[in-house]
Amino acid sequence: MLFSKNKDSTPLGKNLHHEVVEHTQYFITHIAILAAFSLFLSTVEYMIPKPLPFMRIGLANLPIIIGLSIFSLPELLLLTVLKIVGQGLINGTIFSYIFLFSAGGSLGSMLMMYCVYKLLGRFTSFIGISITGAMTSNAIQLLLAHFMLFGSSIWIIAPPFLLMGFITSIFLGIFANVFTRKSRWYADITTRRKIQENSMRKSSGTKGGLNSHAEK
């Protein structure tokens, strides 16, 4: 579904089509794995006592940070939505206003991290990206709290809230750095992604620009 624009009917195209479908399945499987991982981390985080309801470590964002370098934007959106819904289910907040905070924060931070990754990816490691994501998420949550619930008094807790997010995001970033360096699973996926990108480039190369334009 996510790569359906590459469907072809020629023999060569069919071959490629199979390859693409296989790749799609492969990546959907890994979205599912990361989403499940995120659910697990939500559970772990749920057990850790927190001084204030929104002061969270953000463990469940780790799969999204790692996913940034593997997935495309629609895949990341899917992963984020799965994470939000899963987290809502586990924390029991899915039908409360806290769910809006978490949804807004997660989506916003994911998009922001994606932008930073695409624009500054060569100059940052996961630490910078993780901090950006945490700050965006916290800022969005504060803004939502300001306009929906508490008014301007929410800004009294803003500094420690942001500081906490800053510190935990550094650790998450360090973990993501180490993980992407050591994990064979991750190395396997990135290799796959490269192969897939090559094959997609090849398919558009052999078919010529005309056909692929007509497809769109």
Please state, in angstroms and rounded to a whole number, the distance separating the CA atoms of residues 87 and 81: 10
Nearer Cβ to other proteins (105/128): 128
Q: How far is the CB of 49 from other proteins (least distance, A)?
A: 22
Q: Who's near 69: CB < 8 A, 6+ residues apart?
A: 117, 121, 180, 190
92 sits in the region (left: phi over 0; alpha: psi -120 to 50; else beta) called left
Q: How far is the CB of 77 from other proteins (least distance, A)?
A: 21
CA of residue 92 relative to chain centroid, distance: 22
* Coil vs helix vs strand at 55: coil
Q: How far is the CB of 181 from other proteins (least distance, A)?
A: 4
The token pair at 167 is: 């510190």
Q: How far is the CB of 200 from other proteins (least distance, A)?
A: 22
Nearer Cβ to other proteins (65/103): 65
Please state, in angstroms and rounded to a whole number, the distance separating the CA atoms of residues 48 and 30: 27
Please state, in angstroms and rounded to a whole number, the distance separating the CA atoms of residues 124 and 141: 25
The one-letter amino acid at 185: W
Q: How far is the CB of 154 from other proteins (least distance, A)?
A: 11
**Interaction site with other proteins (CB under 8 A):** 69, 120-121, 123-128, 131-132, 135, 155-156, 158-159, 162-163, 166, 170, 173, 177, 180-181
Nearer Cβ to other proteins (100/174): 174
Nearer Cβ to other proteins (194/202): 194
Nearer Cβ to other proteins (4/153): 153
Please state, in angstroms and rounded to a whole number, the distance separating the CA atoms of residues 40 and 187: 22
Nearer Cβ to other proteins (106/136): 136
Q: How far is the CB of 122 from other proteins (least distance, A)?
A: 8
